[in-house]
């Protein structure tokens, strides 16, 4: 697979949530997805138990059905699915436009990725939950980095978890045995030039040797 040849630092600083620039007209080969997943599987996971499962959805009918669940969830009032809109986030209006753009085309993606972690998070202690999430989130992010290096992109999304049971039914996932991590579109990007994003400056969030009240 052709690669962009980004340095590690470029890859880490320019792997964005891509939504508007996901090219839904270009098919994505299973081989490139598997190449990225093989890299992702090198991420650490608790006890190296490899209890994760990875579902790639590239059947257009199933992509449409899952996309419909995403849309339905998204169209609920904001209060039903997340926290209030922040007033300190730079360019939040643009993020909102971009989020909307993904909602519009999520049901036409070339492919979707739904990673699964074993068991249910409900009722688990923070430590048990940390093992669950920590044993798969890093692999998913590696997958994002591998996509970026190959001219593809994704966006981390969690809205679908409001419809986790419905999505499990569409895919035949045993709901009591696995928790979905999120829903990740997979597509080539329109252009490959992405820039570092705004973040709260390090000085605002970093402390040494103790917690500073701010």
Ligand X SMILES: Cc1cc2nc3c(=O)[nH]c(=O)nc-3n(C[C@H](O)[C@H](O)[C@H](O)COP(=O)(O)O)c2cc1C
Note the residues at the interface with ligand X (CB under 6 A): 16-17, 19, 95, 99, 102, 155-159, 197
In the complex, what is the shortest distance from the CB of residue 212 to ligand X, in angstroms, rounded to a whole number?
25
Q: Which of 1, 85 has the CB closer to ligand X?
A: 85
- 150: tokens are 């190959």
Are the C-beta atoms of residues 124 and 132 closer than 8 Å to each other? Answer: yes
From CA 60, how far away is CA 193, in angstroms rounded? 28
Task: Say whether 84 sits in a helix, a strand or coil.
Answer: coil
Q: Which of 27, 156 has the CB closer to ligand X?
A: 156
In the complex, what is the shortest distance from the CB of residue 70 to ligand X, in angstroms, rounded to a whole number?
8
* CA 170 from centroid of its chain's CA atoms: 19
Q: Which of 1, 4 has the CB closer to ligand X?
A: 4
In the complex, what is the shortest distance from the CB of residue 210 to ligand X, in angstroms, rounded to a whole number?
27
Q: Which of 8, 31 has the CB closer to ligand X?
A: 8
DSSP strands (E only) in 11-153: 22-23, 53-57, 111-118, 152-153
In the complex, what is the shortest distance from the CB of residue 132 to ligand X, in angstroms, rounded to a whole number?
14
In the complex, what is the shortest distance from the CB of residue 83 to ligand X, in angstroms, rounded to a whole number?
11
Q: Which of 1, 78 has the CB closer to ligand X?
A: 78
Which residue, among 142, 118, 138, has the nearest Cα to 128 in the 3D structure?
A: 118
Task: Say whether 151 sits in a helix, a strand or coil.
Answer: coil
Are the C-beta atoms of residues 170 and 65 closer than 8 Å to each other? Answer: yes
């Amino acid at each position: 697979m052709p690669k962009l040849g980004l340095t590690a630092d470029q890859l880490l600083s320019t792997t964005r949530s891509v939504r508007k620039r996901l090219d839904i007209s270009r098919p994505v080969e299973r081989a490139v997805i598997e190449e990225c997943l093989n890299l992702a599987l090198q991420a650490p996971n608790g006890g190296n138990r490899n209890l994760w499962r990875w579902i790639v959805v590239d059947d257009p009918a199933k992509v449409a059905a899952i996309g419909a669940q995403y849309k339905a969830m998204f169209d609920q009032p904001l209060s039903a699915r997340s926290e209030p809109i922040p007033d300190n986030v730079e360019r939040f209006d643009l993020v909102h436009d971009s989020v909307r753009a993904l909602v519009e085309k999520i049901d036409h993606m070339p492919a979707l990725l739904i990673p699964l972690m074993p068991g249910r998070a409900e009722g688990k202690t923070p430590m048990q939950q940390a093992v669950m999430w920590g044993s798969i989130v890093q692999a998913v992010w590696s997958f994002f980095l591998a996509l970026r290096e190959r001219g593809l992109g994704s966006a981390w999304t969690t809205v679908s978890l409001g419809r986790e049971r419905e999505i499990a039914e569409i895919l035949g996932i045993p709901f009591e045995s696995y928790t979905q991590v999120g829903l990740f579109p997979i597509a080539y990007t329109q252009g490959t030039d992405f820039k570092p994003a705004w973040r709260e400056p390090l000085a605002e969030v970093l402390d040494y040797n103790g917690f500073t009240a701010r």
